[in-house]
Amino acid sequence: MLVTAALLRDNQGPFSIEEVELPALGPGEVLVEVAGAGYCHTDTLLRQFPNEMLPFIGGHEGAGVVQEVGAGVTGIAVGDHVVMSFDSCGSCRNCRLGLPPYCDEFTARNFMGHKLDGSAGATDASGAPVGWRWFGQSSFATHAVASIRNTVVVDRAVDLTLLGPLGCGIQTGAGSVLNALDVRPGSSLVVYGAGAVGLAAVMAAGIAGASKVIAVDRHQARLDLALSLGATDVIDAAAVDDLGGEVTTRTAGGSDFALDTTGVPAVVAAAVAGLRPTGVCGLVGVGFDDLGLNSVGMMGKTVKGIYEGDAVPQVFIPQMIEYWRGGRFPFDRLIGTFPLDAINEAEKASNDGVVVKPVLLPTRG
C-alpha cells in the first residue's frame, strides 16, 4: 500500500515527507489509518542511529481507525478505533506474567526497523528499504501496520486525535506512579522533569491519593502547569544549589517516592539523595551516561528502572481514558496539534518546551 510518511534520512537533518510502500499484511497484523500521532522525546533516539540505519519512519504514539485485518486476527475489526502502543511477543515469561514492557523480544520488535521473520518491509519511491515498525507501528504516516499485541480497541465516542500519547509517554508517566511505584494514599512523590511524562505522573499522583506532589523543572511555565494539574509544590531546579537537600527539607526528611524523567545523572543523584530511607526512585528518563550513585547514600533505598509504566496497554489505556472522562486526568491540556508536514516545527516546539506534547495529524491538512 502506498502511504505518505515522514522519513528521517540524516540523523542531523530534517524529516522529509515522502511516499512509502508498505507491504501486505501478515498474520496477526492490522492496518490503521492514523488520526493522530504524538511526538515523544523517545522519537529523538532515531537521531542517535548511524546514518547507515536510515531512512526510518518514526512515531510510536499513534491512534486511528482499522482499515484491514490480517489472517488470524480476532477481537479487532475493520472500523474499530484503536490506540497503538509498544509491541511484545505475548509468550515469553515476562509477557505471561503480565509484564510486556520487559518482553524478551522488546528490542527486536520495537527498535530494529524490520520484522523478526525477515520478510519484506517498507520501501521508498526508488524501491530502497526504509526502516519501519518503530515500536511496532511507525505512525508518522497516514497509515501504519501494527500487531494484535500492540493495538488497543477504544470507545468510538472519544476524539481519536487526542489518544495517541496514551500509547507511550502519558502511559509511562501515569503507569510509573500507579503500577510500577504503586504510590500510596498520603505519601509524597517528587517528579523530576515536568514534560509530558512528568506531568502525567503528577496527574496520576492525585488519582493515587498522594498528599504531597512536588514537580521539579527549569521552566516556569511548566511548573505553573504542574501546579494547575495537581502538584502541591514546585521547585525551580535552576534556583537551588542542593536539589536533594531542598527536597529533603520540603518533605520533612525525604520523599517516599521519586520519579526521574530526565536521564541526567546529576538529577538522578539528587532524586535518590532526596528520598527518605526506604524510599523508592523510579527511572524512566533516557540516558546513556553512568549514574555513579553513592553506595552509602543508597542504604535502605530502592532505585528501579521502568519501561512503559509497567503497563499492559489493553488494560491501562482504557483505564486512563476513564480517568480522563471522569475529570481526574486532563492529559488533553498538554496537547498541541500540527499537520504531518509540519513535523519539523513540531519537533522544535517539543525541544524548546513551547508545546508539552505535539500531536501530528497525518490525514488532515
Residue 4 DSSP class:
E
Buried b (16+ CB within 10 A) or exposed e, 262-289: bbbeebbbbbbbbbbeebbbbbbbeeee
Strand order in the sheet with 129-130: 56-57, 2-8, 15-21, 122-123, 129-130
The contacts of residue 218 (CB under 8 Å, 6+ apart) are: 236, 237, 238
| Residue type present at position 108 | A
Distance CA 83, CA 65 (A): 9
Q: For position 365, what pLDDT does the model report?
A: 47
CB atoms within 10 A of CB 96: 11
Cis peptide before 265 (omega within 30 of 0): no
**Partners of 260 in beta bridges:** 192, 283
Q: For position 63, what pLDDT does the model report?
A: 98
Distance CA 319, CA 303 (A): 27
Distance of CA 14 to the CA centre of its chain: 22
- pLDDT tens for each residue of the chain, 365 residues long: 899 999 999 999 999 999 999 999 999 999 999 999 999 988 988 999 999 999 999 999 999 999 999 999 999 999 999 999 999 999 999 999 999 999 999 999 999 998 888 887 999 999 999 999 999 999 999 999 999 999 999 999 999 999 999 999 999 999 999 999 999 999 999 999 999 999 999 999 999 999 999 999 999 999 999 999 999 999 999 999 999 999 999 999 999 999 999 999 999 999 999 999 999 999 998 776 777 777 777 889 999 999 999 999 999 999 999 999 999 999 999 999 999 999 999 999 998 889 999 999 997 54
Give this prediction's pTM.
0.95
138 contacts 144 by C-beta, under 8 angstroms: yes
In a 3-state reduction of DSSP, which class is residue 214?
A: strand
Q: For position 99, what pLDDT does the model report?
A: 97
Pick from 17, 8, 16: nearest CA to 47: 8
Question: Domains in the chain and their CATH numbers?
Answer: 2-167+330-361 (3.90.180.10), 172-307 (3.40.50.720)
